[in-house]
Amino acid sequence: PPLARPRVLLAFAFFDSPLQEGDGVAGVEAVLPRWQLSRQGRHCWLRLQRGLGGAITPRAVAEELWEMARHLEGLAALWADLPPAADAVTPIVERGSDWGEPYRAALHQGLELVERGDLRKLVLAARQRLELRGPLDPRQLLAHLRRSQPGSCRFLWQTTREDALLGASPERLFSLRQGLLRADALAGTRPSGDGARDLLSSEKDRHEHDLVVETICRVLHQAGLSPQRPRRPRLARHGGLVHLHTPITARPRGQTPLALAEALHPTPAVAGLPRREAMAWLRTLEPFERGHYAAPIGWIDSQGDAELRVAIRSGLLRPDSLEITAGAGLVRGSAPDREEREVALKLRVLRDQLLPTGEDASRRAIV
């Protein structure tokens, strides 16, 4: 079955290399996991990947796989008898850093660039550092995301004891399953509520969204594909936010997942237009390394199927802090106060989603 195939797990950096050597994350991290557990509905597949040789024989591998399967079945029976886990309600954040002042300075420069016509769009991000009262277990935070954000792609990427990237991404860079490519154009944001439908009639948000749709379709055309999309966007609700969303499909003709990822990343939803110039200005205006933020994260399997998400709505967890990042798309006609409010909204919603304070435990992500 497709879910039983071996998968290489991938986490890219937003930029190919950091500004300073040794600062930031590698351009791409790839892992072939020793253990792989996949589930679809009531069916699960457990896979063990080990090199053979010496004492590691096919029989020994089969026995190890069997023992792990029995162990997991025992855990499942134990958990079935436990009451549902409750989210923590004790405040766990000491204080949050001031992100507004540095963002406002960069925001005014970014707006000048788009108003002069140097850029058609620029997605400028802000970062906030939340100081924690004590270390948190990233696996517990992931369990919280599984309960509170079922309509988004929940992920945890941890290669050291000190740092863990986790989040719930609403945005698919692309998926490739049985010869069908699916991509998301996601741009334009409002808080959930009665005013969310205003997105569909907002000239500014529709323009920002259309730039993303047109660019993704053009890139796929240039790669030799024939993308299809609906004429109008729809609303997609994810947690406390609503976005304009246009699904895009195509049939690849021999293009590999990595080639498609290179062509599509970064989309104008997370960088800007023109791409090269926008990327250069992000280096200049943002006073931090983006790292994995807004970069592709996901997997490619042994038959070329793939799922790569855009690592937004994510945070970098350390023993004493959580760094969260959010951005807003600047186009001609953008108002600085509104863009700053959008970033503040996204940071607040992201904090509520990642940290189980009990304030927003009932929120659900709906596609």
Per-residue pLDDT tens over the stretch 56-96: 999 999 999 999 999 998 887 777 666 655 555 455 888 89
pLDDT, residue 194, reads 66
Question: What average pLDDT score do residues 108-125 get?
Answer: 97
More confident residue, 189 or 309: 309
pLDDT, residue 360, reads 40
pLDDT, residue 276, reads 96
More confident residue, 27 or 195: 27
This model's pTM is above 0.85: yes
> Residue 300 and residue 5: Cα distance in Å, rounded?
10
> Please, is 135 exposed, middle or buried when counting C-beta atoms within 10 Å of its C-beta (0-12, 13-18, 19+)?
exposed
pLDDT, residue 365, reads 29
Q: Reduce the DSSP state of residue 330 to 3 states and report it.
A: strand
- CATH annotation of 94-354: 3.60.120.10
For the question of residue 346 being annotated catalytic, the response is: no
Question: How many alpha carbons lie under 13 Å from residue 171 in its C-beta half-sphere?
Answer: 28
Per-residue pLDDT tens over the stretch 251-300: 999 999 999 999 999 999 999 999 999 999 999 999 999 999 999 999 99
For the question of residue 171 being annotated catalytic, the response is: yes
pLDDT, residue 90, reads 57
More confident residue, 90 or 25: 25
The residues near 38 (Cβ < 8 Å, ≥ 6 apart) are 3, 4, 44, 45, 47
- Classify strands 121-132 and 272-273 as parallel, antiparallel or unpaired: antiparallel
The one-character DSSP state at 56 is B
pLDDT, residue 362, reads 33
What residues does each domain of the chain span? 94-354
Catalytic residue among 29, 63, 112, 121: 121
Catalytic residue among 63, 94, 101, 171: 171
268 cis-preceded (ω within 30 degrees of 0): no
Mean pLDDT (the chain, rounded)? 90
> Residue 126 and residue 104: Cα distance in Å, rounded?
9
Q: Is the pLDDT of residue 361 over 50?
A: no
